[in-house]
Structure 1
Amino acid sequence: MRRVLLFGSGTELWEQVQRTLASRPELDVSAARSLQQVMAELAAFAPHLILADVDAPGLSRLGILDQLARRPGSPPVAILTAVDSAQLAVRALRQGAVDYVVLTPGTLARLPERLGALLDAARPPSAEASARTAGRHDAHFLDSPEMMHVVDHQGRIVDANRAELEALGYSHGEYVGRPFLDVVRPDCRQTVHEAFGAVVRGKPVQSLETTLVTKDGHPMDVEITAFPETAGSHVVVVRAIMRNITARKHDEHRRERRHQQQLQTQRELTARSQAELERVAAELVTKTRLATLGQLSASIAHDLRNPLGSIRNAAFYLKRHLGAEHARIRPFLDLIDEEVQKADEIITNLLGFARAKEPVKGPVDLRKLVECAFAQSRHGPGVECNMQGIPERYVVWADHSQFRQVLLNMIQNALEAMGEKGELAVEASRDEDYDTIVFRDTGPGVLPAIRHRLFDPLATGRAEGIGLGLAICRQIVEAHGGTIDLLEGEQAGAAFRIRLPREPQGQDG
């Protein structure tokens, strides 16, 4: 016979429930009106199921669930009430109730059948089955090398074997009775809680990976397999087997880090390759433009120099034969000479692209060449050239004529930028492979808009310039195997750096 204990307030409704259930021959029904009576009936009557009111006497709402949760071996509890609340029903089921029945005339008539299903689920295991379970527990549980534990339907640890206690650092007394979630790392608890809920509903969990925290605070990666142990269709306890996979996870993390590093390296190589392709493409475009410009220059330079020569000769003739009465005309003739000279320099620069030659390198005294180039440059009386940064008898390995052209262009650019007053400083230094020459001026600096194309042909920041000086410098320096660039971060003026390979056997200086 199935034993059912009613725990309610003794109202007419509960009297009617008791009469309905007592009329069924397969049920043995008893009633309690206080928690003390319930505890006494648990020992004397040993009910298979408790039907409790949501507001049982002497307890807070659903308080009976909390009370019985603290008592090992308590029978399942179904809530029987007139309070129709979905929120309250969910709360009751989460606290361990096996059912939530709202009493109406219809549900009261069907109550015996509903209780029959609950009692079937709550049928305790037979003595023979219990003995078999205990035998398995003794033989495989206590001394297994794998971590094992048993939890009740509320997730509290009922027992744990020696391997698990030693791995986590707890004594048996410290470990048993606490919620298993206490030893799960906080960020993993939700996943473990959901998996435990599935097991309580009868669905085993295979190979759940999570992280525990040992008593001394160290993380431990484990793989959990959990399965329900039932009595009839009711889950009595949940058994779990855990395997320490910390070393494996470390290996996986190490492989993942190595894989990410390889991906990063591959991305960097791809980026470098892409940048190199873009550089080569830009260089090809530049060379194509230079070649086109050179061809154009070569075709028109001869035709331009002939009439320029005629203009220069005519101006010279007029200067020789004009009398004193035409003195006011003489400045205009000087202006013609100056402009013809500028035009001739432009033509010379244009021809530099068309007639680029391989440098014939030899030792070049840098200080003397700078002095010569500065003396030949057009500059105001307030402009100085400071060469204190050039060591005495500093020799570079270059084509004398071509490098002189580079120095002339660099110095002339600086002088035109500074105007009538300023200082041009030239510095030189060397390492094992390169000579480095830096030109610093006190002018206004380089416009940001042309920095990225400063060395391209026809790029200029001055209204009177045509933008060939730096392009020629780059062409010559690169033909020497060197580099030329604009130094960034200068507080005032502009600074250009030239790097030239040293003589393979070394040079004096």
Structure 2
Amino acid sequence: MYNQDQVLLAALLRTAVDAIIVIDERGIMQSVNPATTKLFGYSEAEMVGENVKLLMPSPYREEHDGYLRSYHETGRAKIIGIGREVTGKRKDETTFPMHLAVSEVPLGDKKLFAGIVRDISDLKNAQQQLKEINDQLEQRVRERTSELHATQAELLKAGKLATLGQVSGGIAHEIRNPLNAVRTSAYYLRNAKKLTPEKTSEHLERIDRQVLLIEKVITALSDFVRLPEPSLSKCNVSDLIHDVISEVSLPENVHIENQVASDLPVAMVDPNQISIVFHNLLRNAGDAMPEGGTVTLASHVRDDQIIVEVIDTGVGIGDEHIRRITEPLFSTKAQGMGLGLAVSAAILDKNHGHLEVESQLGVGTTFAVHLPQHFRS
């Protein structure tokens, strides 16, 4: 049985992939397996009987005897039973990283130590390559982050330019038609061979109307960019609605039905600014009914709010647009700058009110203007 164990042990040592070195208490190599001779480049005869320091470069070789002496004197192990990474030295003086695990092997009254050595050059190379890849990746991330910041800056700049382009396009569209009318009338007045007083008056009035229209466009844009602070006062909402209806111009096939109660509470708002809101809403209602229809104005009071609804029977607004209709320069209409509802929302906000909207495609839209009541102090 003893011989069988020896044969089995010899077979394991001979076929082991890792290098196995057995040393005595003085560090003298007692046996090595074939993997050891292959790893270090020495023959078995060149190693057995020599101090294991033969396989170590400085400073490990100088420290090794001290480790053994300290363990022999104190019994405190520094590397025994603990695997660690060290450096080995081959016969050709080249060095390589290796993992060393040492265990104590009692043998009668002697102490032997078995060291299992594994070459980890491939692992260290892989770790170095991984580190280089990570370093490159981090550098690329830094570069891409820098590019992203630059791109964001460009997009912001482009967004501002796009906004400027939208504003410019909207202004150009709103002003071009009046300017063409002014130009036509001016050309007529300069070149007509027989000008009657009636024709002269007609074209001068047309020029005046178109110039006024241009002025309104510029004023609307200016009001939105720098909306003046409201001059709050007591306002009879019913009277204000009546005045707006009498002033607004809608297509002949669009009818207004005023159901606003005459006994509404007094609101505390800027009447001039709130008038602009209702003018905008009524014009939008007319535009939403190209085939004609009815705009209904209704009112009710809820808590401390006076609510006036402008209800049209027009084409309606899709869900994808309804959240954006008060954004500046956003419009669902083929014509217009998209400032009317933005200005209206801004006015109501400054007057401590707000605007709500509900719509259904093909059925119509309801804009609800909420105004604060005036309470006597």
- TM-score, normalised relative to structure 2: 0.46
Q: Does 1 or 2 have the higher relative contact order (CA < 8 Å, sep 6+)?
A: 2
Max Rg structure: 1
